[in-house]
Structure 1
Amino acid sequence: MMRVLPLIAALLLAAPIVAAPRPWTAVAAPVATGSYLIGNPRARVKLVEYVSYTCPHCAHYAEQSDQPLGAMVRSGSVSVEVRNQVHDGLDLVAATLARCAGPAAFPRLHKALFAQQQQWFERTAEWQQGNAARISAWPQLAQLKAMADGGGLTAIALAAGAPAGAIDACFATDAQVKRVLAASNATSQVAGTPAFEINGRLIQNVDWAKLEPQLRAAGAK
């Protein structure tokens, strides 16, 4: 027993186990524009993405940039601020859900919405054909929530880690919807999506192949 006691004492005095920090790609925080910023807030290269969740070109950009941009963000050299430019009612539903998900779930949900865009877009269109007349007299927020549920967006948000309570509260009042629309209205200088800013310089009409070298030139690693 006497030999065991020193071992126990040594273990108790040992440095506590510290959880490994999350990669920058999993770190998001709300910013003054009403958007979320993913990555190192002190990154040398600050990329702003102007996107619409129902924009096919945005989904293509997300697919093409996923691995290389993810590596840049993980290195801490690049941060990504996602600014939504809302184009239609379904886009409003998706953008509002993404905002309501909270910072912990936002990076995963943002990625999932683009990765599964075609599926939930088609599912929502099919759902609307059978339910548009039935819900037409409902309050607007109830219609948006029904669209989220019927189109599979709620399920995607839950799978990404969004709390069920946050999703339920999302359309309980118009506060979140108004914030999303206000943030969208502030993107009026952008002619279409996707568009970008690198350290405050607006860049339009480019794809990932043309954006990547500009990020590298700015210091992305």
Structure 2
Amino acid sequence: MKALLAGLALLLAGPVAAAPAKPAAKMSPVTVIETGEGWTFGKAGAPLLAEYASYGCPHCGQFAGAIFPRVDGLVKAGKLRFAWRPFLIFPQDRATAVLTRCVAPARRLAFIEAVMAQQTEIKAALKAADDDETSRAALYEAELAGPISHAGALAKAAGLLPLAQKHGLTTMQASACLSNAAHHQWVTNADMTARLNGVTGTPTFMWKGAKIPTGTPDDLLAMLPQ
């Protein structure tokens, strides 16, 4: 009888409350610093890997696909700083660098990664625009109007605006960004600084301040912290 009453008491008391879940570990936001050459992501004092890169460079794209997951993880863990320094080679490079500058700092590295991952799609979109007589004429007219106009036209043709939207820029904000002369001047200066520093091609890597042979992605990964 006592056992029956004890069981009834438990039923009336209702379900036992579960132990409170432990709060998820919080990761500190990645520090982003803009210099005259580009952007540096990561904790101050961590070893620095700098890359001079063109957004349209296929070789840069291969390296990005191989090293960015590791680099991103090391940056977030505070074990590495990563500097992205734009170098203008391909027509879409200027527009992409300008948009990168307008993306919120916390989303900037992810935007760079997304652009590099979609090189094939961007190249195909630009080829389709060039193959179409009307689009080709519009791009030519924009080029004649100057680099700011040309960058805006190329961004639309390449499909960069939807990509920027996925990383926090509205269409209106992206258009205003691409029309901003100060952003274009910064990109021009960054490119000129890279060339004055002796950069002649991409990707060019600097490890702890010294230029290193490009090698292979595996060679580069072997140098990074564990």
If the length of structure 1 is used for normalisation, what is the TM-score? Answer: 0.80
CA distance in 2, matches of 1:119, 1:89: 15
Computed over aligned residues only, the root mean square deviation of the Cα atoms, in angstroms, reads: 2.2
Task: Tell me: CA distance 1:143–1:82, structure 2 relative to 1, closer, same or farther (3 Å).
Answer: same
Of 152, 160, 165, the match for 1:158: 165
Task: Tell me: CA distance 1:88–1:68, structure 2 relative to 1, closer, same or farther (3 Å).
Answer: closer
CA distance in 1, matches of 2:115, 2:188: 18
- SS of equivalent residue, structure 1 residue 205: coil
Contact 1:28 1:107 in 2 (8 A): no
Contact 2:31 2:41 in 1 (8 A): yes
Task: Tell me: CA distance 1:133–1:20, structure 2 relative to 1, closer, same or farther (3 Å).
Answer: same
Contact 1:105 1:162 in 2 (8 A): no
Amino acid at match of 1:32: T
CA offset digits 1:104-130 (Å, max 9, x no partner): 221111010011111011102211332
Of 119, 137, 141, the match for 2:141: 137
- SS of equivalent residue, structure 1 residue 104: helix
Q: How many percent identity over aligned positions?
A: 25
**Which residue of structure 1 lines up, in the alignment, with residue 8 of structure 2?**
none
In the alignment of these two chains, the number of paired residues is 197
**Which residue of structure 2 lines up, in the alignment, with residue 13 of structure 1?**
none
- Structure 1 residues 1-221: aligned runs within 5 Å: 21-22=26-27, 27-43=30-46, 45-130=47-132, 131-138=135-142, 139-140=145-146, 141-188=148-195, 189-215=198-224, 220-221=225-226
Divergent runs of 4+, >4 A: 18-24
If the length of structure 2 is used for normalisation, what is the TM-score? Answer: 0.78
Structure 1 alignment gaps of length 5 or more:
1-17
Contact 2:33 2:41 in 1 (8 A): no
> Residue 199 of structure 1: CA displacement?
1.2
Contact 2:205 2:214 in 1 (8 A): no
- SS of equivalent residue, structure 1 residue 157: helix
> For the pair shown, which has the larger CA radius of gyration, 1 or 2?
2
**Which residue of structure 1 lines up, in the alignment, with residue 9 of structure 2?**
none
